[in-house]
Amino acid sequence: MTFNVKNPILTDLALMEKHLEKMSTELSQCYEQIMLLYNLSTHMNLDQSNATYLQLACDQLTQLIPVEGIAIFLEKKIDGAKRLVLNAGSGVIALDPNAADILQMHLTAELTAGKEALLDSQVDNPFKYAWPEQIRNILAVPVGPADKMMGLLVATNILNKPDFDSTDVKLFNSVANQCAVFIENGRLFDDLKELFIGSLKALTNSIDAKDQYTRGHSERVALISRWIAEHLKETHPLTEKEIHHIYLAGLLHDIGKIGVSESVLRKQGKLSDEERSIILSHPRIGASILSEIPQMREIIPGVLYHHERYDGKGYPEGLSGQDIPFSARIIALADAFDAMTSRRVYRDAMSIRRALSEVEKGVGCQFDPIAARAFLDSPIDQLWKVIQDGFIETWDYSNFEEYGTKAVGALIR
């Protein structure tokens, strides 16, 4: 005889087990979502580009929510009009930037209607909007606040379930918010950096202006130093950060002249011993000024030793060869090159060709061989454009062709 009566205790246990299993799955998904957001927040390092960070966001999202295509479009001004430009993504999104503009319009309509996202699918219903035929379902959320949207995050064709759901919407919105914070921080950081560099340029220009023959010298030395640093790639590769420090050190290399009077700087005849010792002290004064600013610590060696020579005959310490910090060896070369190609009260500017042959002669005695070689082997004829583009003042280059490539230094002072 068999009994077909269900044991109520066993039934309850089975239900509880099912419930527990569901909770544990949900908890593990929740944990993964939190980890994703945590990962994104720990990667908010402003040294990386928007594209790198946004790509990380897309990659991490697709690990949790597998989709056929994911993309982040950001607004960019093109010919005066705001357009969406693809910044990151993977897979086949089936939307080109033109279609993204239409998507943004539909997303704005959904947000205005009080929705958190645009969620359109043909799984249960016909599509609300018209999409390219490859799209089965689509989820789009704004990057940035709805009223100041800076772009959008979009995914198409979810792979592990029939349709996107409200949990996906929440996660997409959280990730898009993190992306917006990163982009906004980057903009603020760039503004601050620009303000900072602008203030330094104004300061060094005021020092250079003490002598009409050194007008613009610091900015040019900064640009030439960066040019050399960038052309060291194969022989002595430097990081972006190191190159930026060299640029800053080049810009501030003569900041110690702030304490040297104009009469000494402009003096044409022989300097007295006292005047000479004042001039020779400017690297130390510069280093001492910068030592008060913790963020400037990295650039002090370039400033302090920019008058050292490779053969040890420079100042202030008479260091030689590798004992001279590398940044200072680069700035020393840029400083000398700019001085040679600048007009002085007692001589005209040297032609570029002549100045380059002087650099060649100085390899291993006045100049560091690695830096000098990189400089001599670089496409110097393009340097004038770099100087023109990076310069705070505008210069008339209309006659550049007439001067040809020798004009780098001669034309800009």
Cβ of residue 274: shortest distance to Fe ion, in angstroms? 18
Among 254, 308, 338, 368, which residue sits at the site for Fe ion (rule: CB under 5 A)? 254
Choose one: 107-115, 250-258, 284-292, 396-404; the region binding Fe ion (CB under 5 A).
250-258
Cβ of residue 97: shortest distance to Fe ion, in angstroms? 50
Based on CB atoms, which residue is closest to Fe ion, 168 or 254? Answer: 254
Residue facing Fe ion at closest CB distance: 254
| Total number of residues that touch Fe ion (CB under 5 A) | 1
Based on CB atoms, which residue is closest to Fe ion, 110 or 335? Answer: 335
Choose one: 16-24, 176-184, 251-259, 384-392; the region binding Fe ion (CB under 5 A).
251-259
Cβ of residue 303: shortest distance to Fe ion, in angstroms? 9
> Which pair of structure tokens corresponds to residue 378?
């670089």
Based on CB atoms, which residue is closest to Fe ion, 120 or 254? Answer: 254
User: Do 103 and 118 contact (CB within 8 A), yes or no?
Assistant: yes
User: How many whole angstroms separate alpha carbon 49 and alpha carbon 53?
Assistant: 7
Cβ of residue 300: shortest distance to Fe ion, in angstroms? 14
Based on CB atoms, which residue is closest to Fe ion, 211 or 254? Answer: 254
Cβ of residue 257: shortest distance to Fe ion, in angstroms? 7
Q: Please report whether residue 208 would count as binding Fe ion according to CB under 5 A.
A: no
Based on CB atoms, which residue is closest to Fe ion, 316 or 321? Answer: 316
Cβ of residue 369: shortest distance to Fe ion, in angstroms? 22
Based on CB atoms, which residue is closest to Fe ion, 329 or 373? Answer: 329
Choose one: 87-95, 118-126, 253-261, 346-354; the region binding Fe ion (CB under 5 A).
253-261
Choose one: 208-216, 254-262, 267-275, 363-371; the region binding Fe ion (CB under 5 A).
254-262
User: Do 204 and 219 contact (CB within 8 A), yes or no?
Assistant: yes
Based on CB atoms, which residue is closest to Fe ion, 183 or 248? Answer: 248
Those residues whose C-beta lies under 8 Å from the C-beta of residue 46, and which sit 6 or more positions away, are: 185, 186, 189
Based on CB atoms, which residue is closest to Fe ion, 254 or 368? Answer: 254
User: How many whole angstroms separate alpha carbon 74 and alpha carbon 150?
Assistant: 6
Based on CB atoms, which residue is closest to Fe ion, 254 or 308? Answer: 254
Cβ of residue 322: shortest distance to Fe ion, in angstroms? 21
Cβ of residue 291: shortest distance to Fe ion, in angstroms? 17
User: How many whole angstroms separate alpha carbon 189 and alpha carbon 360?
Assistant: 41
Tell me the per-residue interface mask from 55 to 74 with Fe ion, x by CB under 5 A, - otherwise.
--------------------
Cβ of residue 180: shortest distance to Fe ion, in angstroms? 45
Furthest-apart CA pair in the chain: how many Å? Answer: 126
Choose one: 50-58, 66-74, 138-146, 248-256; the region binding Fe ion (CB under 5 A).
248-256
The contact set with Fe ion (CB under 5 A) reads 254
